[in-house]
Structure 1
Amino acid sequence: MLASKFVHEIIGHIQLVEQEERHSIMQAADWIADSVARDGLVHLFGCGHSHLLVEDFFYRAGGMVPVNAILETSIMLHEGAVKSSKIERMTGYAPVILDNYNVMAGEVMIVISNSGINSLPVEMAQSAKERGLKVVAICSSAYFHDETRHPSGKRLSDIADLVIDNHMPHGDALVEIPDFSMKMASGSTVIGSVILNMIMTSVAEKLVERGIEPPVYVSGNIPGGFERNQVYIDKYRQRIKHL
Structure 2
Amino acid sequence: MNRSQEYYQKISEVLAKINETQQENIQKAAEMIADLMARDGILYLLGGGHSLMVAAEAYHRAGGLAPVDIIHDKSFGRAERCEGYAKQLLDWYDPPEGSIVVIISNSGRNALGIEMALECKARGIKTIAITSLAHSKSVTARHPSGKRLFEIADLVIDNCGIPGDAILEIEGIPGRICATSTIAGAMIVNMIMAQTVQNLLDRGIEPPVFISANVEGGDEHNKRIFKKYQRFIKGL
SS of the aligned residue for 1:72 comes to coil
User: Within 1, Cα distance between the matches of 2:139 and 2:206?
Assistant: 43
Using the TM superposition, give the Cα deviation of residue 70 of structure 1 relative to its aligned residue in structure 2, in angstroms.
1.0
Correspondent of 2:229 among 218, 228, 236 = 236
- Equivalent position of 2:89 in the other structure: 97
Using the TM superposition, give the Cα deviation of residue 179 of structure 1 relative to its aligned residue in structure 2, in angstroms.
4.1
- Equivalent position of 2:26 in the other structure: 25
User: Within 1, Cα distance between the matches of 2:235 and 2:174?
Assistant: 43
Q: What amino acid does structure 2 have at the position aligned with 1:72? A: D
User: Within 2, Cα distance between the matches of 1:214 and 1:136?
Assistant: 21
* Cα-to-partner distance string for 1:53-102 (whole Å, 9 max, x where unaligned): 122321100111111111131x22xxxxxxx33x1111111111111114
SS of the aligned residue for 1:100 comes to helix
- Equivalent position of 2:126 in the other structure: 134
| Ranges in structure 1 where 5+ consecutive residues have no aligned partner | 77-83
Residue 172 (structure 1) aligned with residue 165 (structure 2):
yes
Count, aligned residues: 234
SS of the aligned residue for 1:68 comes to strand
Over the matched positions of the two proteins, sequence identity in percent amounts to: 42
Alpha-carbon RMSD across the aligned residues, in angstroms, is 1.1
| Ranges in structure 2 where 5+ consecutive residues have no aligned partner | none
- Equivalent position of 2:143 in the other structure: 150
TM-score (norm. length: structure 2): 0.96
- Equivalent position of 1:64 in the other structure: 65
Using the TM superposition, give the Cα deviation of residue 105 of structure 1 relative to its aligned residue in structure 2, in angstroms.
1.6
User: Within 1, Cα distance between the matches of 2:84 and 2:9?
Assistant: 41
Q: What amino acid does structure 2 have at the position aligned with 1:36? A: M
- Equivalent position of 1:112 in the other structure: 104
Q: What amino acid does structure 2 have at the position aligned with 1:125? A: A
Q: What amino acid does structure 1 have at the position aligned with 2:205? A: I
* Cα-to-partner distance string for 1:102-135 (whole Å, 9 max, x where unaligned): 4112221100000000011100111122221110
User: Within 1, Cα distance between the matches of 2:133 and 2:181?
Assistant: 12
Q: What amino acid does structure 1 have at the position aligned with 2:56? A: E
- Equivalent position of 2:4 in the other structure: 3
- Equivalent position of 2:116 in the other structure: 124
- Equivalent position of 1:41 in the other structure: 42
User: Within 2, Cα distance between the matches of 1:162 and 1:216?
Assistant: 25
TM-score (norm. length: structure 1): 0.94
Q: What amino acid does structure 1 have at the position aligned with 2:166? A: A
SS of the aligned residue for 1:170 comes to coil
Q: What amino acid does structure 2 have at the position aligned with 1:157? A: F
| Segments of 4+ moved more than 4 angstroms | none
User: Within 1, Cα distance between the matches of 2:172 and 2:49?
Assistant: 30
Q: What amino acid does structure 1 have at the position aligned with 2:148? A: R
Residue 189 (structure 1) aligned with residue 190 (structure 2):
no
Residue 204 (structure 1) aligned with residue 197 (structure 2):
yes
